[in-house]
């Protein structure tokens, strides 16, 4: 049966304005008799790529659904990304579209702006890739990351159901779903609102603790975030890297208020290191093996987290003043030249039971917080960017599995605050309560990932839907 779709193309300079209205008709005969196949358009950050790949692994292992990752970037893949893609298991392949030139954007353009432009300018190449896949696979869905909703145009053209993969928490998703309404009701900058904001599905939260890209409403990054969140309702479903036992109330509210798109909480999606990935000769691993169980504070700010020189000095002195063992991995760039690192390297450090004190930045909280939840490890949440502040509020005030240090008037967390926070976690009563709560969540995470767990069932529901879908 013939069908016509209204394709709305935003201009590259103004995501809100409508540039043209085009009636587009496409029909392609699906590859009959083949198992379902999905296309995923991820953001290039490792904190997004890793959970998406883990999601694809589960789909293939449990439901025989294969995946093609289509990378749209403005630069060649990094060494880390190439390594990740070169080790993809059976059932997952990838296509790297031609890099997009973004030289016309301001040098200080934020990641949200750059990613959105990259996706829009890649649409012709994406269309060709999807068309080619349709000739040899049975495409059941096109899944995009947070800032890829303009690719819905390709999904609609080929009549492929569109989905959003949301790698963060239900609390962050609640904000995104409510952001268009918040934009209408608040006239000033959100950080200037004196009272806590009451957002459905969120712990009452100060405006300064919302996502980093919404802190400057005049910046193009905010306009792009607003543009994408308005389009979430076009999706058939939102695949969420969280689980019911972690956020029961807000997940229930999310699922109630969004009959469409349907929310599928299938987390925690984590990448656990295997023994084969561990460099047993590493000085870090050897040192860890020699420490008493539960005695090491693991300090890491993830692949995108950097500190100023002054903050690095305060952190170093605070760690020393705490008088507790620590393993610090990371780098910084600042007025003083150089990037500093621990020789064992983060990707090859196994998540040892000895690392029972984890200092995790809350960007990687959406990767590492779920990892430490699975392992029952208490945290110190130190937010730097993206949704980290929201995650810190959730983990500290709501879930109560983390401590959060206070920033001083100079914008730094001082050495005394750092030392006292560490001692509270390791030695204090609050730390004992956090450890108890974390162990409960560890058991809950294991349960949801079991054969009859809620996350396993939601994944099965999604797979069943895709098994019944055909792109035609």
Helix, strand or coil, per DSSP, at residue 387: coil
Q: Report the candidate in 50, 256, 267 with the shortest Cα–Cα distance to residue 169.
A: 267
Residue count (the chain): 472
Fill in the DSSP letter of residue 354: T
CB of 324 within 8 A of CB of 357?
yes
**Parallel, antiparallel, or unpaired: how do β-strands 5-10 and 18-24 relate?**
antiparallel
How far is it, in rounded angstroms, from Cα 73 to Cα 43?
8
How far is it, in rounded angstroms, from Cα 371 to Cα 385?
20
In degrees and rounded to multiples of 5, residue 13 shows phi and psi of: -90, -25
How far CA 251 is from CA of 82, 94, 159, 245, 326, in Å, comes to: 35, 32, 29, 9, 35
Q: 């292992």: which residue's tokens?
A: 61
**Token couple for 416:** 């005394």
Catalytic residue check, 324: no
How far is it, in rounded angstroms, from Cα 445 to Cα 242?
10
Active-site annotation holder among 37, 48, 117, 396: 48
Active-site annotation holder among 37, 117, 145, 228: 145
Question: Strand locations in 205-295, DSSP E?
Answer: 237-240, 262-265
What pairs with residue 266 in β-bridges? none
In degrees and rounded to multiples of 5, residue 57 shows phi and psi of: -60, -45
CB of 264 within 8 A of CB of 237?
yes
Terminal C-alpha separation, the chain:
9
How far is it, in rounded angstroms, from Cα 40 to Cα 70?
6
**Parallel, antiparallel, or unpaired: how do β-strands 66-71 and 36-41 relate?**
parallel
**Token couple for 31:** 């590859």
CB of 301 within 8 A of CB of 275?
no
Cβ neighbourhood burial of 32 (10 Å; 0-12, 13-18, 19+): exposed
Catalytic residue check, 183: no
How far is it, in rounded angstroms, from Cα 455 to Cα 266?
4
Dmax over CA atoms of the chain, in Å, equals: 72
What are the residue numbers of the active site?
48, 145
């Amino acid at each position: 049966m013939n069908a016509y779709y209204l394709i709305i193309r935003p201009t590259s300079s103004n995501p809100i304005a409508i540039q043209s209205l085009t009636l587009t008709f496409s029909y392609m005969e699906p590859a009959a008799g083949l198992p379902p196949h999905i296309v995923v358009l991820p953001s290039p950050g490792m904190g997004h790529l890793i959970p998406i790949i883990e999601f694809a692994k589960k789909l293939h292992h449990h439901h025989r659904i294969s995946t093609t990752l289509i990378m749209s970037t403005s630069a060649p893949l990094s060494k880390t990304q190439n390594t990740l893609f070169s080790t993809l298991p059976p059932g997952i392949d990838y296509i790297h579209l031609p890099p997009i030139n973004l030289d016309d954007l301001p040098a200080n353009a934020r990641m949200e702006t750059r990613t959105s432009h990259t996706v829009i300018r890649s649409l012709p190449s994406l269309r060709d890739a999807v068309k080619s896949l349709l000739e040899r696979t049975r495409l059941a869905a096109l899944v995009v990351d947070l800032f890829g909703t303009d690719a819905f145009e390709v999904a609609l053209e080929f009549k492929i159901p569109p989905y959003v993969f949301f790698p963060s928490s239900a609390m962050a998703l609640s904000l995104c779903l409510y952001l268009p309404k918040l934009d209408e009701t608040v006239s000033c900058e959100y950080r200037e609102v004196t009272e806590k904001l009451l957002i459905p599905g969120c712990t009452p939260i100060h405006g300064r603790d919302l996502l980093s890209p919404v802190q400057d409403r005049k910046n193009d990054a905010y306009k792009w975030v607003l543009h994408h969140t308005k389009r979430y309702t076009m999706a058939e479903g939102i695949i969420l890297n969280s689980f019911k036992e972690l956020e029961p109330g807000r997940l229930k509210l999310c699922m109630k208020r969004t009959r469409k798109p349907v929310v599928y909480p299938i987390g925690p999606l984590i990448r656990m290191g295997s023994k084969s990935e561990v460099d047993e000769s590493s000085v870090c691993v050897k040192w860890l093996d020699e420490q008493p169980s539960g005695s090491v504070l693991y300090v890491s700010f993830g692949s995108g987290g950097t500190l100023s020189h002054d903050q690095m000095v305060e952190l170093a002195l605070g760690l020393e003043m705490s008088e507790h063992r620590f393993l610090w991995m990371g780098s910084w760039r600042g007025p003083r030249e150089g990037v500093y690192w621990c020789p064992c390297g983060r990707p090859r450090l196994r998540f040892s039971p000895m690392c029972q004190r984890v200092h995790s930045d809350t960007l990687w909280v959406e990767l590492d917080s779920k990892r430490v939840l699975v392992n029952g490890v208490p945290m110190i949440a130190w937010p730097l960017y993206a949704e980290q502040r929201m995650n810190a509020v959730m983990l500290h005030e709501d879930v109560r599995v983390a401590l959060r240090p206070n920033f001083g008037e100079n914008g730094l967390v001082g050495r005394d605050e750092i030392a006292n926070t560490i001692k509270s976690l390791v030695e204090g009563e609050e730390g004992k309560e956090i450890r108890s709560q974390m162990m409960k969540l560890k058991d809950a995470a294991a349960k949801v990932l079991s054969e009859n767990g809620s996350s396993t069932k939601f994944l099965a529901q999604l797979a069943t839907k895709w098994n019944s879908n055909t792109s035609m």
